Amino acid sequence: METQYISWRKVISFAGAFIAFLIGSGFATGQEVLQYFTSYGYWGIAGGIVTMILLIYVGTDFITVGYEKRFPKPGEIFHYYCGHALGKFFDYFSILFIYMSFMVMVAGAGATLQQHYGVSVAFGGIIITVLASGTVIFGLNRIVDIIGNIGPVIVVISIALGVSAIIRNPAGIAEGNALLPTLELTRASTNWFFAAGSYVGFCMLWLAAFMAAMGATAHSKKEAALGGALGAIAFASAVIIVTLGLLINIEQVVGTQIPSLYLAQNLSPTLATGFSIIIIAGIYTTAVPLLWTVAARFTLDKSKKFRIMTVILATIGALVGLVVPFSKMVNIVYVINGYVGIILLILMVIKSIMKLKRQ
């Protein structure tokens, strides 16, 4: 009989890594939340709830399948869900998307430091590139340890900012919702439900290989599942609260590259300075596993070729990521790839149903 040993320290580490991976430049800056949730007003909250339900499902499934199958290469999880031909497509497509997402992280870091400190976009982009590539070279276990500790801290602070905005002006939620039709907003989709589906879709393409690799290090299936579920609940809860915080200040944050910085600035300039550093930390926690996933797809983790590949990928990603404006990159890269991720979600559900029938 399989052991069901659970290390709660490991569970929290898995949840923290899950959260940290998804925080990135999109969530931490507020740009992602603005386009996928806040721009739909009250329906954006419904989108956040749908996102939570779907992320619990995909998060637990990815990590438990990784525990059960112990894939030699994390990308093989796509073959498990989709078969050989489609699995190969998703494997390579996800790697391309993940690499493009790393470029988004570089752009987000550059935009954050430029908005708050007035420095060149290249300055922040280079900093995040150096930090991410340096961490990846240490290998996956070190990555989980580092980002698993940072992720929950960023979520707590983001939730605190959202809650503070709500407490200061609870009536602003209704006022912001009423203002939406009069504002020019960049939305992820014409429909809140499709936006939520697209959001989960691109998250899935990020999470699949990384969660499968984490699952292989779990002591038991139950431990892996708890880590995935806890991470999904905490992250989606933060999304909903930040959505409300931005909705209250919708007139002010529309058109800004880093909406979350406005929430912090509204409370205190000193807090905004501290939060700008926190945003960079959030970008770092996502940039690291994104870069690791691409490098590990083509070379053996911790090998000399892996280290060389990491440096080359990071350099090229930085050069591209500093050319296109951050908000535009979020809208193009995430939305298009999100719809491809929905196809993977459908195939996952089919696989789960078939698995249940065999039991």
User: Residue 322: which of 98, 103, 100, 24 has the closest Cα?
Assistant: 103
The interaxial angle of helices 269-298 and 8-29, nearest 10 deg, is 110
CA distances from 154 to 61, 148, 176, 236, 280 (A): 25, 11, 25, 13, 10
All structural domains of the chain with their residue ranges: 8-351
Mean pLDDT taken over the chain: 87
The pLDDT confidence band at residue 1, using thresholds 50, 70 and 90, is very low
Predicted confidence band of residue 145 (pLDDT cuts 50, 70, 90): low
Residue 321 contacts residue 106 (beta carbons within 8 Å):
yes
pLDDT tens for 159-168 read 888 899 899 9
Q: Is the separation of the CB atoms in 146 and 131 below 8 Å?
A: no
CB 282 within 8 A of CB 126: no
Give the model's pLDDT for residue 325.
80
Residue with the two structure tokens 């459908």? 346
Examine the pLDDT at 150 and tell me if it is beyond 70: no
How far apart CA 348 and CA 341 sit, in angstroms, is 10
Residues 163 and 310 sit within 8 Å (Cβ to Cβ):
no
- Spelled out in words, what is the top-level CATH class assigned to the domain 8-351? mainly alpha
178-202 as b/e: b if 16+ CB within 10 A: eebeeeeeebbbeebebbbbbbbbb
CA 342 to the chain's CA centroid = 16
Token pair in block for residue 89? 């497509």
pLDDT of residue 25: 59
Contact predicate 165/57, CB 8 Å? no
Task: Determine the pLDDT at residue 2.
Answer: 56
Angle separating helix axes 140-168 and 221-248, nearest 10 degrees:
40
CB 74 within 8 A of CB 86: no
| pLDDT tens readout for residues 94-142 | 888 889 889 988 998 898 888 888 888 899 899 999 989 988 887 655 6
- Kindly calculate the radius of gyration of the chain based on its CA atoms and give it in whole angstroms: 19
CA dist 349 and 103 (Å) reads 30
Distance between CA atoms of 98 and 93, rounded to whole angstroms? 8
| Contacts of residue 163, Cβ cutoff 8 Å, sequence gap at least 6 | 241, 245
Instruction: Look up the pTM and report it.
Output: 0.83
Assign 250 a pLDDT band (cuts: 50, 70, 90). very high
